[in-house]
Amino acid sequence: MTHRHGSPGNPDVQLDPEVFYVCQSCAACCKWPGDVRLEAHEVIHIAAYLDLTVQEFIDAYTRLRSNRQGLSLIEKPTHECVMLDGNACRIYPVKPDQCTGFPNRWNFPGWRETCQAIPVPVA
Ligand code: SF4
Ligand code: SF4
């Protein structure tokens, strides 16, 4: 099955245990509008990676999530993630778990038309 979708709140579940989608680094998911959720430990790690204080990082790069229940990275006027530089992530070694989890642990209806990840059967 290739069209399942779930929420970022299922961090340990691979949606289709028979297939692993291998990312092709097209950056389309980084250009998708919406929240890029940040957990507290991620804020600390990303601030340190950027050589900023936590407050400096929060002020410059975050906003409240759409549900106001935590922080999200901000978007550029084009709706792509503020951390996207060309097709590269400026914080790749410490990118949020939401980013790491797409599309195997969460995705959205119609994601297959956007994402170029290659499905590989899990042995
Ligand atoms: S943090 Fe990096 S991987 Fe995540 S959406 Fe932004 S640019 Fe993409
Ligand atoms: S859209 Fe899919 S293939 Fe492209 S960067 Fe995101 S996960 Fe990788």
| Domain assignments of the chain as residue spans, ordered by start | 19-121
Q: Which residue's CA is the closest to the ligand 2 atom numbered 4?
A: 26
- Check whether 88 has a pLDDT greater than 80: yes
Query: Cα 91 to chain center, whole Å?
Result: 11
- Check whether 10 has a pLDDT greater than 80: no
Pocket of ligand 1 (CB under 6 A): 30, 36, 73, 81, 83-84, 89, 91, 95-96, 99
Instruction: Specify the pLDDT at position 7.
Output: 67
Residue 9 binned pLDDT confidence (cut-offs 50, 70, 90): low
Two tokens, residue 6? 């779930």
Instruction: Specify the pLDDT at position 123.
Output: 76
Q: What is the DSSP letter of 68?
A: S
Instruction: Specify the pLDDT at position 13.
Output: 80
Tell me the whole-structure pTM to 2 decimals: 0.91
Q: Where are the beta strands (DSSP E) in the chain?
A: 19-22, 37-38, 62-64, 71-73, 84-85, 88-89, 118-121
Ligand nearest to the CA of 90: 1
Closest CA to 8 of 80, 74, 81, 102: 102
